[in-house]
Amino acid sequence: MQGTEGDRRRFALDSPVDRRPIAEFEVDSRIDVETAVARARAAQPGWAARSTSERAKILRKAIDVIVAHRADITQTIEAETGKPHVEALGVEIVPSCDFLNYWTGRARRDLRPHRQRLHGYLRPFKKLYVQYQPLGVVGVITPWNAPFVLTINPVVQALLAGNTVVYKPSEVTPGSGEWVARVLHEAGVPDDVVQVVRGDGETGAALVDSAIDKVCFTGSVATGRKIASSCAQRLVPYTLELGGKDAMIVCADADLERAAAGAVYLSMFNTGQVCMSVERIYVVDSVADEFIALVAEKAAAVTCGPGAADMGPLFWDRQLDIVTRHIADAEEQGAKIPVGGARVPGDGLYFQPTVVVDAHHDMQIMTEETFGPVASIMRVRDEDEAIRLANDSRYGLSGSVFTKDAAKAQRIAARLITGSVVHNDSSVIYGVPEAPFGGRKESGVGQVNGVHALRGFTHAQPVLIDRWQPARESIWYPYTDRTIRDLDQLIQHGFGKKLLRRLLS
């Protein structure tokens, strides 16, 4: 809900558990955003002048701050999202501490200047060094489904690389996102080095349009397109982690007990509101009956509703409309709903754990991002058909393959047009910092995490150094017959003879 007070817009937050008011906040204006960016710009040289080790030491202290304040942080997350306490700890706090521990441990090694070996005929004359310069001010816009961890991870990466950061959490979970700045300031990061602005899409647009040097966005495809267009006009780099419609392939040789448990959990944890949630399940027909029976049994056992241990509400009322529409469309087109399929009675945004059977690609539930607690199952003849259907999507964020044969999982993964693939699991890939994470097709642009994550917030500057000063450069003015003869000899003997060609590589 939003209103105005004088010239200021205000947002009122309702609990997704019972719709009672829980907080209200003032929306930052375009001028507020520009002021924050200006302060970040002024603070950036001083932050970048600190050594990487010093920045890492400060940011590593944030782990202790999170541990000390974990009860307060999770209380805010649970109030704004309705997540069960287990998920507030397991989805938000544990990976945040792990990311901080990992990136602060790697920063010095990943960001130090290094010498790059040169090839061929250049090697006797030049030495190449690569050094990593911070970009300046980074703008980060983060979503409501994992508001703490999906904020702290890119913010910390950008800070370690020597940038300052202005970030905007979702208007649905502003308090959860604001905890990131509070934690980092308590750890010793100067106030102007990391700042939070509050607001909705207007505030986000103001941040994207401001004098920043990179945008890191996690959210919807529609907003991602707008950000890409704005950044293209100013030639500002960006990374976009957008929607997903992740496919799970259940092979005939899968451990069906594990596959069924995975289908239920991986489509329903965090109330299904994870960009790498299992949203489409393709099961080989020869094992489909047993698999479907197991999925229905396990989904029916998931507890949901106020005070339930397993599944909380949807975090946003708009998402309830989407899930309801997708289920209705599937039923109209002949799908069966053996478990769930409806909103839980009451004031909260709870939706029953749901299993959809006999799904097909004319249904919205198999083509559009549902982002809810729904396991949608389609029978296929064989693994080849499963691969074809998994690739029949405008999304390509992640995917999973359930089989007892690891080599088969790798072969199938090589044929899937998706950002990542997980064997006998799903969603966990974002929590593996060594793995580059990003989508293909409409699921995003660029990657976060992985061995080049910190360098993604820098400019890799090559510096070419003379080994020795020659008396005469080979092709500087004036051009002579000797210049032509030397070049022709290089082409004829250096590249025209296979042995020498290998030596020059």
Q: CB–CB of 214/236 below 8 Å?
A: yes
CA-to-CA distance for 317 and 172, rounded, in angstroms? 10
CA-to-CA distance for 320 and 453, rounded, in angstroms? 35
Catalytic residues: 241
Q: CB–CB of 372/322 below 8 Å?
A: yes
Rg (CA), the chain: 26
CA-to-CA distance for 435 and 452, rounded, in angstroms? 10
Of 326, 309, 315, nearest in space to 273 by CA:
315
Question: Could you write out the three-class secondary structure of 235-276?
Answer: CCCEEEECCCCEEEEECCCCCHHHHHHHHHHHHHHHHHCCCC
Q: What DSSP line would sit under 71-102, residue for residue? A: HHHHHHHHHHH---HHHIIIIIIHHHHHHHHH
What are φ and ψ of residue 412, in 5° steps? -65, -40
Residue type, 323: V
* Number of alpha carbons in the 13 Å side-chain half-sphere of residue 331: 14
| Distance in angstroms between the alpha carbons of the first and the last residue of the chain | 63
CA-to-CA distance for 472 and 69, rounded, in angstroms? 66
Q: CB–CB of 320/343 below 8 Å?
A: yes
Q: How far is CA 467 from CA 110, 123, 494, in A?
A: 26, 9, 21
Q: CB–CB of 263/281 below 8 Å?
A: yes
Q: What share of the chain is helix, strand, coil (3-state, %, to 5)?
A: 45, 20, 35
Q: What DSSP line would sit under 306-332, residue for residue? A: TT-SSB---S-HHHHHHHHHHHHHHHH
Beta bridge partners of 421: 399
DSSP H/E element including 423:
strand 421-423
CA-to-CA distance for 377 and 396, rounded, in angstroms? 18
DSSP letter at 27 equals P
Q: CB–CB of 272/251 below 8 Å?
A: no
3-state secondary structure of 42: helix
